[in-house]
Amino acid sequence: MINVGGEIFARGENWKIGIQHPRKENELLGAINVDGMGVSTSGDYEQYFKKNGKRYSHLLNPLTGYPADECEAVTIIAKEALLADALSTGVFILGPKRGMELIEKLENVEGIIVDTTGTIHESSGFKKYLVRN
């Protein structure tokens, strides 16, 4: 397993990767098992500040210049960690509806999106990576 600043590439069947809950510290949304795949998460829960009760993250929407505000977290599984990294950020900025549409169009890409209401959206093939106890 290689972890470079949050982007992970794992080879082998014994790697379980936890997906952090974006609002509950030390709680996982779940764990995934990937073999020969890259994983990346983008979220608004580590690099942010609050002003007047509003959360401002480091993930900026280039169309508005303001922080993207439709997602709390996006985790992408892809063949390459670099692709997973680019997609997790891009999908976060696109938002849950357009982001999931993009994920579903791409081959060998799966994802999970937590929107700002706390609703969890999974791509059609995401469940095959979930670790069941």
- For residue 15, what are its two tokens? 């790697």
CATH code of the domain in which 71 resides: 3.10.520.10
- What CA–CA distance (Å, rounded) separates 121 from 82? 22
Over residues 101-109, mean pLDDT: 98
- Reported pTM: 0.93
Over residues 32-46, mean pLDDT: 94
Q: Residue 113's domain spans which residues? A: 2-129
Beta carbons within 10 angstroms of residue 106's beta carbon: 14
| CA-based nearest residue to 22, from 96, 84, 86 | 96
- What CA–CA distance (Å, rounded) separates 37 from 49? 32
Q: How many domains, the chain?
A: 1
Bridging pattern class, strands 28-33 and 16-20: antiparallel
**10-41 b/e (C-beta count within 10 Å ≥ 16 → b):** beeeebebebbbbeeeeeebbebbbeebbbbb
Helix/strand number for the chain, H first, E second: 2, 10
Q: What is the mean pLDDT of the chain?
A: 93
Reply yes or no on whether the pLDDT at 133 is more than 70. Answer: no
